[in-house]
Chains A and B, each alone.
Chain A
């Protein structure tokens, strides 16, 4: 169980990000309008992009030179990032034993589709697979980028329950969403994003 401390600057084209926040174990919701830097922040924490200045610390460790695969993460990107040549089950087996893979498929209700390729799945099914993959290694740091945007309310509640369960387990979770209700339902803490700047708040203010 560790705190994530982000204090990083990065630039993509004309967009500048200055992200500063602390995420304790539990769910920290990253909330804000589109293109405000939320996805960029997740990419920096994941290590697929390096900040221009500043640092990202998890527990005692500075993640600076640690390659993505060694950061102990689980990551579900916004577009799900599914591999077109591998079936549903094969998305989990590189990370978990066959038994655990089957258990995960059952958890996200994808068992019937175990042998399907991603192009045979609906948008919601794809998201559930990306989510299951992120959980596969029981990561201590979980990055979820709008993971349930294509799910119906019932599935969304069910998946949200799994996120809460991971939080109880002690994982530090960054959860990006711009669904206010979902944010309030799942979040222990909130980071507001606007034009590349962050503001830590303990609860979301009602819409003005």
Chain B
């Protein structure tokens, strides 16, 4: 079923950016302070509180061919994101990033600062402390965040349709369910839906396993 293949490709590409960027954002939100942090927190939440079609519309204004940044991409690099798999990944990433960032924030906030302090006081430089103490302790929580972000990216519909459009390279499983239903192709709509349910349940089980560690 190529719709699932498109979904996997789109989600995998989205996660490549969402996981490290979301984790970094989450770390900053957990440890930062002051006005900058408050602004970052509000911005991160925007795609979460907006309806997905609005997110897609804003992406269009920004990254569409004549959009603020999109026009540069088009004229300077010949890159057109609408009707491309990259565009679908951007839509999925936009809605998944808040989940990754907030989940990562919770994971890093739960790490006992005292354990980091004793590492530093005994001579470990900050990067080593992060690698040896902070990150391993945050890992279970980060796993939860990654699972939630993946599920969200997998299920994304409104932003994808509004921004990336509906074409062979953007026809993710959720989009295909919708259009199969429109055409009265219940067999296809149902089988894709079942596949998505299985993927979601699988991810939810993974979530439980991660959080038990």
Q: A-side interface residues toward B, CB under 8 Å?
A: 43, 46-48, 67-69, 71-75, 77, 79, 81, 83-86, 94-95, 130, 133-134, 136-137, 139, 143
13 pairs, CB–CB < 8 Å, chain A vs chain B: A43-B117, A67-B126, A68-B121, A69-B123, A69-B126, A72-B123, A74-B122, A83-B115, A94-B132, A95-B123, A134-B122, A137-B123, A139-B123
**Contact count A vs B, C-beta below 8 Å:** 64
User: Is the pair B117, A95 in contact by a Cβ cutoff of 8 Å?
Assistant: no
B78 within 8 A of A: no
Q: Knowing A83-B133, A85-B137, A94-B128 touch, does A75 contact B114 (C-beta < 8 A)?
A: no
- B137: A residues at CB distance < 8 A: 83-85
Residues 108-132 of B, flagged 1 when their CB comes within 8 A of A and 0 if not, give 0000001101111111111011001
A81-B114, A85-B136 known; A95 and B121 CB under 8 Å?
Answer: no
- Of B114, B124, B126, B133, which contacts A77 at CB under 8 A? B114
CB within 8 A of B121: which of A75, A83, A94, A136? A75
Please judge, given known A-B contacts A79-B114, A85-B136, A94-B128, whether A46 and B123 are in contact too, CB under 8 Å.
no
Q: Nearest chain-A residue to B213 (Cβ)? A: A85
Nearest 10 A/B pairs, CB to CB: A81-B118, A75-B121, A68-B120, A46-B121, A48-B117, A69-B120, A68-B121, A85-B136, A69-B125, A137-B123
Partner among A79, A85, A86, A137 whose Cβ is within 8 Å of the Cβ of B122: A137
Interfacial chain B residues near A79, Cβ < 8 Å: 114
Provide the bound-state CA to CA distance between A37 and B110, in Å.
27
Question: Within 8 Å CB of A77, what residues of B?
Answer: 114, 117-118
Min CB gap A17→B, angstroms: 18
Q: Are B136's CB and A75's CB within 8 A? A: no
Q: Is the CB of B123 within 8 A of A48?
A: no
* Residues of chain A contacted by B115 (CB below 8 angstroms): 81, 83
